[in-house]
Chains A and B, each alone.
Chain A
């Protein structure tokens, strides 16, 4: 039987509409959805061809319990009763990772379980590893931690400034929408990236700074704007505070000094500043409207030991130029996972309740009244801290849903040694990945194609997913598993088990919407009828919000925060490790690769980790295109296949962090962290590269061990 089911793509944060075509309960084709306002009938290779992972034979089909050192199949009752007994022993030394790939409903039930039953705010998710500095800076300076504008504003802008991001690889449909603006509207393009990304070919100005010099670069841009009087004085006066002190800090150095520190041409820096602050109007812009600029950034900004300072320097720029609160401008941190926005919105962060509501009396009161019990008021530990504090015994048990930290944490050997010390580890996922292999209990979860729910994309649009194929094996939706567990544990800790008696994802969403002002006007009935809605949507007749900050910022005035360039990175090159390693992503794999390594066509397209190296460095090291190379840092080693290209600066190499053939960049990366966000410095560490020596034949000539046998 053939069926078509409208849903939302499970890969990056763009949130494209997809239509899953099935025949006899197998997915046969993934179609685009021209009616979806975020993707407008576009998809990328992962969304179109990458979905077969849901039917992979590796899918977990039953719960597993570790017995006599091995993970062995168990019933749901056995597994959940065991988890319930064990977790009760570890209240007070417990932490949980939620999944930015799961739904808002899954996230909401998980944070409710952690706060209510486990009595802690130790819950976090992968936003810690991608945009926590952006969120910290936006909350501090504006009062809200989300993208201000919409994708449609990329097409309405007169200038796009892309900083430390590669939409062509990581947000391909956003890249298509940007190329459409360049092609059809003559939009200007400024690119800031230490690597020459594909879109740089189209740029009016391309700045290729030295790694870790972002604050100098953006202070330099600000200095140009000030020197030439291009700032928006009216906006600064009416909408902001802290300008004078910030200005004094910026004026400590000249444009030439800033450009020198960042390793860019001062004239190019000035040109970029002019384009951002006062771009020439794009084609078709009504004369009455001021030409706007969108400031778009990715992890090139955040994943530094001064990631929050980097984000602050960008927000300062947006305030200075008054590029906020109108169509065709704004600030956009591009989100990496399908529901990383929603997972935070639903409360899976340690320092606030759903909807970013603080642990103050009046906000918490509504939750306590609804949930019929007290909730902890002390902010919990951040994800990276939970891992590091396994060593001190502050965390002894963990419950990890839909994440594989042993691919995504920095310094993997160190992270693995910590996870091995856990006294009790529960992993709930689709596959038996690196982290699950260390677990004491593994619970099989459903994929996005088997359940109802909602994802919230990078432009704050809440969109439905719907079941297209039957559940694989005994797998269950994440929210259902956690609610079942919570009902088993609740009476033992004085909680009414009816708090977790949800009959459907829709019931969960209704409670989330009731407790979260920004979602209060949404319901499944509305989402099914109207399609996705952008929050804030406070009432059932509210149409949703295309852009934020039209009249005021949630904190009142926008706040300038002085920032100064600190040491470029915690670890810089030296004689022993002379090159800088930069990490990122590629089009054909998704993040660590737990999912895309299970799609035949994607593995065929890219089956080994590439290392981009400048021709000058390659020549010095005797490395040619396609050579197998070994990369070492103080923390580990990996092998890769050399790509010799001048897209990277001399002295730098680039490796995507996908793990292929047991080789992954995160064996090398440095577990040092930014304050206050606690994001790791994935973007800079020191490495040594050499050509891999062929293994001597005679040594491996012996019969393989497995064949000796009996």
Chain B
């Protein structure tokens, strides 16, 4: 097969082939070690004249792929803009290695970062001692759900509701601390926008804590 004019071996999905060639293509809902979800549509490419999501299109059925055709780029720009509209104010935090992918893709597509007002969904869950969930920057990509269900096989996280009322929830819409969550942090690691973010790592500081003498 050919990708952007390069001859290459057709193995796995189109996204696998494209990334193996070192071509930069956004894939906001696809983790390297998790199965594809196909929710974010930021990996749209032109395959034999059709627009497809690279993450879940088998490479074997395709002869020619263009990642940089005008049509593909314009569609990805549109998808990225729509995604950014779901994203509320930028949180003032760092940490979580895969965060920042949305804005990196934005920059790579020549888009200016928007300054949208915060969107109506703004639930905050601070119940876990280990991490927090702030709904505002959540783009509903589903990576946390897949990390919980298909990597760790715990199933504590889901997406409830549809369309504009869709939201990430723990258990049957309870707090993380009340759910089946075991705080493995795979969702935090997978989140591309800091909606799930670690609490600062810290040791116990009062000497009494360590001795277990505190009340």
Q: Give the dominant DSSP class at A's interface.
A: mixed
- Shortest C-beta distance, B5 to chain A (Å), equals 30
User: Cα distance A51–B201 when bound, in Å?
Assistant: 8
The interface of chain B, by Cβ under 8 A from chain A, is: 32-34, 94-97, 129-131, 151-154, 182-186, 188-189, 198-199, 201-205, 207, 209-214
Contact (A597, B209) CB under 8 Å given A29-B198, A31-B97, A55-B203: yes
User: Contact: A48 with B210, CB < 8 Å?
Assistant: no
User: Contact: A176 with B130, CB < 8 Å?
Assistant: no
Residues of A contacting B183 in the complex (Cβ-Cβ under 8 angstroms):
45, 48-49, 605
User: Contact: B213 with A662, CB < 8 Å?
Assistant: yes
**Central interface residue in A172, A599, A660, A661, by most chain B CB within 10 Å:** A599
29 A-B residue pairs with Cβ-Cβ distance under 8 Å, sorted by A, are A27-B201, A28-B201, A31-B97, A32-B186, A41-B34, A42-B186, A44-B184, A45-B183, A48-B183, A48-B185, A48-B188, A49-B130, A49-B201, A52-B201, A52-B203, A56-B210, A57-B205, A176-B151, A176-B154, A179-B154, A180-B153, A431-B210, A598-B203, A598-B209, A599-B203, A601-B129, A601-B199, A605-B129, A663-B212
Residues of A contacting B198 in the complex (Cβ-Cβ under 8 angstroms):
29, 49
Contact with B along A29-66 (1 / 0, CB 8 A): 11110100000111111001101110111100000000
User: Contact: B184 with A662, CB < 8 Å?
Assistant: no
User: Cα distance A431–B210 when bound, in Å?
Assistant: 10
Q: What residue of chain B has the Cβ atom nearest to residue A661's Cβ? A: B212
Contact (A660, B201) CB under 8 Å given A31-B189, A49-B183, A605-B183: no
* Known contacts A41-B151, A600-B204, A661-B213; 16 further A-B pairs (Cβ under 8 A): A28-B95, A28-B201, A42-B186, A48-B130, A49-B198, A53-B203, A58-B207, A168-B182, A172-B182, A176-B154, A179-B153, A180-B153, A598-B204, A598-B209, A599-B203, A600-B205
Residues of B contacting A51 in the complex (Cβ-Cβ under 8 angstroms):
201
User: Contact: A42 with B152, CB < 8 Å?
Assistant: yes
User: Cα distance A53–B205 when bound, in Å?
Assistant: 10
Q: Give the dominant DSSP class at B's interface.
A: loop
- Shortest C-beta distance, A45 to chain B (Å), equals 4
User: Cα distance A29–B203 when bound, in Å?
Assistant: 13
- Shortest C-beta distance, B124 to chain A (Å), equals 18
A361 adjacent to chain B (CB < 8 Å): no
Q: Which of A84-100 contact B (CB under 8 A)?
A: none
Q: What residue of chain B has the Cβ atom nearest to residue A660's Cβ? A: B212
Q: What residue of chain B has the Cβ atom nearest to residue A32's Cβ? A: B189
User: Contact: A41 with B33, CB < 8 Å?
Assistant: yes
A530 adjacent to chain B (CB < 8 Å): no
User: Contact: A662 with B212, CB < 8 Å?
Assistant: yes
User: Contact: B32 with A34, CB < 8 Å?
Assistant: yes
User: Cα distance A172–B185 when bound, in Å?
Assistant: 12
Residues of A contacting B94 in the complex (Cβ-Cβ under 8 angstroms):
28
Contact with B along A366-380 (1 / 0, CB 8 A): 000000000000000
Residues of A contacting B204 in the complex (Cβ-Cβ under 8 angstroms):
56, 597-600, 603
Residues of A contacting B186 in the complex (Cβ-Cβ under 8 angstroms):
32, 41-43
A604 adjacent to chain B (CB < 8 Å): yes
Q: What residue of chain B has the Cβ atom nearest to residue A587's Cβ? A: B182
User: Cα distance A663–B212 when bound, in Å?
Assistant: 9
- Shortest C-beta distance, A162 to chain B (Å), equals 15
User: Cα distance A29–B152 when bound, in Å?
Assistant: 19
- Shortest C-beta distance, B203 to chain A (Å), equals 4
